Amino acid sequence: MENKTNTLKAVDFFCSGGGMSHGMQNAGIKILAGIDFDNTCKETYETNIKGAEFIHKDVFEYQPEELENQLKLKKNDDDLVLIGCSPCQFWSIINTKKQKSEKSKDLLKEFRRFVEYFMPGYVVVENVPGVFRKKEESGLQDFIDWLKEDDKYKVHCKIHEVSNYGVPQYRKRFTLIANRITKDELAPIRVPGEKIRVKDVIGEHNGFPKIKPGNKDLSDFMHTTSGLSEINLKRLAITPKNGGTRMAYVFDKELAPKCHYNNTKSFVDIYGRMWWERPSPTITTKFFSFSNGRFAHPEEDRAISLREGAVLQSFPKDYIFKTTTVANTARMIGNAVPPKYAEAIAKAIIKNHLDAI
C-alpha cells in the first residue's frame, strides 16, 4: 500500500472563492483549475489554491474542447475528477427571488456536457437539498439516469448533514459522487467523535478578541462586524447569553418588531444568539446581519464577524479573502462549500482510487 501513489487531479466548475478546491487539495487531490463566471473570485481563488489556474468563463458559452486544449486534459482519464457545485439560488428555500436566479437553474445541465465529453474517473456535484427534492425540474434525475446507464458509474446520491464531517455548523447539502473506477458506492467519510461546536472555533480562547459592533479590521484576519442601530443594541442587551432569542422582548411594544410582537411561534431564530455548546446554524450569505437569523455572538452584543463566519464554514483562520465589501465577502463565505466537507468527499475518492490500483 505504501508504494501506491495518489495521482488524482480535479477541475472545479463554479469554484467561487475556492471552498471545494481547498478541501480537495488538503486531502491530497491536485487542483488543476477553478472555473467561474464571476471574475471577482479570481484573486481569492488564486491566492489560496496554490498551483491552480483560475479560468474566467461563462459555462453556457464555454466548450469542452476549449478546456481540453487549455489544460491538456484527456478523455476517459481515470485520474480525473470533475466537480460541479453550481450556484444554487434558484433551488434554495432561502432565496425567493426566482427571476433573478433563473439562469442558475440550468447550470447542472451545462456541467453535464463536460462530463459526457471527458468521461472522468469521478464526478462530484454538491448543492442545496432543493436540487434533489426537485430533481426532475433541475435536470438532476436525467443526469443520474445517464450516469447509471449501462453501469457507466456507480452513483452515490444523498442529502448529508455537514456537521457529521468536521464542520462546526448545521447545514444540509445534497451530494452526488459518481465512481467509474470500481463498483463501490462512495460516500463522504464521516469524522468520528463529538461534533465540533461554536466554542471549539471562536471566542477569545481561539484568538478572537472581543470587539464592538461596527468594528473594522483591515488586516487579512477580517474580524469585521456590522454596526447596530440603537434599538438593536437594546434588543441584544436583554437577549440572554448563549442561545437567547427575541422571546426576551416579544411582548415589549417598544423593542419587538411590529411583525414579531406577541408572535411566539414563527421566526424564532431571527435576532437570536448562537449557542456555545452546539454547532452554529447554517451560515448564509447574510450571516453578518443580526436581523437575518441566529447570527448574534453567544455572549458579545454584536453579530458574528466575517472571520467568525468563515471558521464556522470550516475555512482556516489564515484563508485570505480578497474582496472589496463586507457584503461581497459574506456572500463568498456563505455560498462556499465548507472545506472540511469537501475534504470528506475527497478522502472517499482517494481511498477508492488507491484501493483500485
**C-alpha dist (Å) from residue 193 to 169, 190, 316:** 15, 9, 21
* Domains contained in the chain, CATH given: 9-190+338-356 (3.40.50.150)
Using DSSP bridges, classify how beta strands 30-36 and 80-84 pair: parallel, antiparallel or unpaired: unpaired
The pTM of the full predicted model, rounded to 2 decimals, is: 0.94
Q: Annotated active-site positions, please?
A: 88
Q: Identify the pLDDT of residue 122.
A: 98
* Burial degree of 117 (CB within 10 A; 0-12, 13-18, 19+): middle
Q: For residues 31 and 9, is the Cβ–Cβ distance under 8 A?
A: yes
Of 171, 170, 222, the residue nearest 197 (C-alpha)? 170
Q: Hey, what amino acid is at 282?
A: T
How far apart, in whole angstroms, are the C-alpha atoms of residue 144 and residue 136?
Answer: 10
Q: What's phi and psi for 113, nearest 5 deg?
A: -55, -40
| Bridge partners for 158 per DSSP | 175
How far apart, in whole angstroms, are the C-alpha atoms of residue 20 and residue 84?
Answer: 10
How far apart, in whole angstroms, are the C-alpha atoms of residue 299 and residue 273?
Answer: 8
Q: Identify the pLDDT of residue 91.
A: 35
> Tens digit of pLDDT per residue, the chain (357 long)?
456 889 999 999 999 999 999 999 999 999 999 999 999 999 999 999 999 999 999 999 999 999 999 999 999 999 999 999 887 554 344 454 544 445 556 788 899 999 999 999 999 999 988 888 888 887 889 999 999 999 999 999 999 999 999 999 999 999 999 999 999 999 999 999 999 999 999 999 999 999 999 999 999 999 999 999 999 999 999 999 999 999 999 999 999 998 889 988 888 899 999 999 999 999 999 999 999 999 999 999 999 999 999 999 999 999 999 999 999 999 999 999 999 999 999 999 999 999 998
Q: Hey, what amino acid is at 277?
A: E
> Residue 194 contacts by C-beta under 8 Å, 6 or more apart in sequence?
none
HSE of 101, CA atoms in CB hemisphere, 13 A: 15
Residue 89: how many other CB atoms lie within 10 Å = 21
> Residue 149 contacts by C-beta under 8 Å, 6 or more apart in sequence?
none
Q: Identify the pLDDT of residue 103.
A: 52
Dmax over Cα atoms in the chain, in whole Å? 70
How far apart, in whole angstroms, are the C-alpha atoms of residue 269 and residue 264?
Answer: 11
> Residue 14 contacts by C-beta under 8 Å, 6 or more apart in sequence?
35, 36, 59, 84, 85, 86, 87, 107, 111
> Which DSSP category does 134 fall into?
T
Of 85, 121, 162, 213, the residue nearest 341 (C-alpha)? 162
Q: Identify the pLDDT of residue 104.
A: 54
Helix-helix angle 64-71:107-118, to 10 degrees: 60
Q: For residues 6 and 27, is the Cβ–Cβ distance under 8 A?
A: no
How far apart, in whole angstroms, are the C-alpha atoms of residue 206 and residue 111?
Answer: 40
How far apart, in whole angstroms, are the C-alpha atoms of residue 218 and residue 323?
Answer: 11
How far apart, in whole angstroms, are the C-alpha atoms of residue 143 and residue 183?
Answer: 18
**C-alpha dist (Å) from residue 339 to 19, 105, 167, 174:** 5, 24, 8, 15
Which three-class secondary structure state does DSSP give residue 12?
strand
How far apart, in whole angstroms, are the C-alpha atoms of residue 350 and residue 344?
Answer: 10
| Bridge partners for 161 per DSSP | 172
How far apart, in whole angstroms, are the C-alpha atoms of residue 60 and residue 356?
Answer: 35
C-alpha cell at 293: 437569523
- Three-class SS string for 12-48? EECCCCCHHHHHHHHHCCEEEEEEECCHHHHHHHHHH
